[in-house]
Amino acid sequence: MGIEFLNSNIQIFGPNKTEKASNSKQIVSFTQNPDTFEISTPAIYNFGSEQVIKKLIDSSPRLKRMLKFYGIDEKINIEELQKLIDGHLIETQNTVGDIYKNLPPAAKSKINLKAVKDAALYHDFGKVLIPVEILNKPASLSPSEHEIMDLHTEIGYELLKNSGLNDKALFLIKNHHNKNLIPSDLDIQILNLADRYCALTENRPYKVDYTPKQAMTILYNDVENGNIDPFIYYALQKAINKK
Ligand SMILES: [Fe+2]
């Protein structure tokens, strides 16, 4: 059960972006069906409101201190969040589903599918507070810009930690780029592989889109260096071959 935000005028974002809550009491909660890969009610759309995100910021003194320390304005980039939701986050969640479906049964039993799917949908939520000039910089980031960009995992965790997402999903959001933890956790591996495959095949301001074959060639390095389990990599390869 998620926390509830009561608001009389919550903007709901999603494929039909202009849809607006008409009821006077909008309840934000997590209602995804854990047994399917379909997004029955994309709860993240309910967080696509400046008012709701402002409340999430205000609910975390640690986040406020962090933003102040790094000199990040509490500027909410709703447009960027919308683009993420419609593209990368949904794509990553679908890719997690594709990987899972193509795993051998013995591997499937080790995966916390609900947590990985939820985390996939929210993993970059913290980018809503990353300055847009860093987020969309059409060139490599400087070391200090990298430091700010890397905070999106911690910011996402702080924003969502009281949202009702389960602890494992929150752990995955916080650690989806954590190189020290990736080799030892199959759930992070699935999220990390799906995230990077989608990022590589998407067109970004600082890079062209790679073909699936090019992306898989790049990602194979992580199998060779022991970061990604071969079963997970080949499950993604199988899914791509079926398309
Ligand atoms: Fe990320």
CA of 174 to the centre of ligand 1 (A): 9
Per-residue pLDDT of the chain (243 residues; tens, 9 = 90+): 333 332 323 233 333 333 333 333 333 333 343 333 333 334 665 676 888 899 899 999 999 999 999 999 999 998 888 888 889 999 999 999 999 999 999 999 999 999 999 999 999 999 999 999 999 998 899 999 999 999 999 999 999 998 888 899 999 999 999 999 999 999 999 999 999 999 999 887 777 789 999 999 999 999 999 999 999 999 999 999 998
The alpha carbon of 23 and the centre of ligand 1 are apart by a number of angstroms equal to 34
Q: Say how many Å lie between the CA of residue 22 and the centre of ligand 1.
A: 33
**Cα of 8 from ligand 1 centre, angstroms:** 32
CA of 151 to the centre of ligand 1 (A): 9
pLDDT at residue number 43? 60
For every residue of the chain, DSSP letters joined together read -------TTPBPPSSSTT-B--SS-PPP-----TTSSS-SS-GGGGG-SHHHHHHHHHT-HHHHHHHHHTT------HHHHHHHIIIIIHHHHHHHHHHHHTS-HHHHTT--HHHHHHHHHHTTGGGGGS-HHHHT-SSPPPHHHHHHHHTHHHHHHHHHTTTT--HHHHHHHHHTT-TTTGGG-HHHHHHHHHHHHHHHHS-BTTBPPPPHHHHHHHHHHHHHTTSS-HHHHHHHHHHHHH-
- pLDDT at residue 196 in the model: 96
| 44 C-alpha to ligand 1 centroid (Å) | 16
Query: Could you tell me the domains of the chain?
Result: 77-242 (1.10.3210.10)
Distance 152 CA to ligand 1 centre (A): 7
What distance in angstroms lies between residue 123's CA and the mean position of ligand 1's atoms?
A: 6
What CA–CA distance (Å, rounded) separates 69 from 53? Answer: 20
Instruction: Specify the pLDDT at position 51.
Output: 87
Residues bordering ligand 1, an ion, CB closer than 5 Å:
124
Q: What is the amino acid identity at position 45?
A: Y
* Residue 207 structure tokens: 């890079």
Q: Distance, CA 4 to ligand 1 centroid (Å)? A: 26
CB 205 within 8 A of CB 138: yes
Measured in Å, residue 116 CA sits from the centre of ligand 1 at: 14
| Distance between Cα 154 and ligand 1 center (Å) | 10
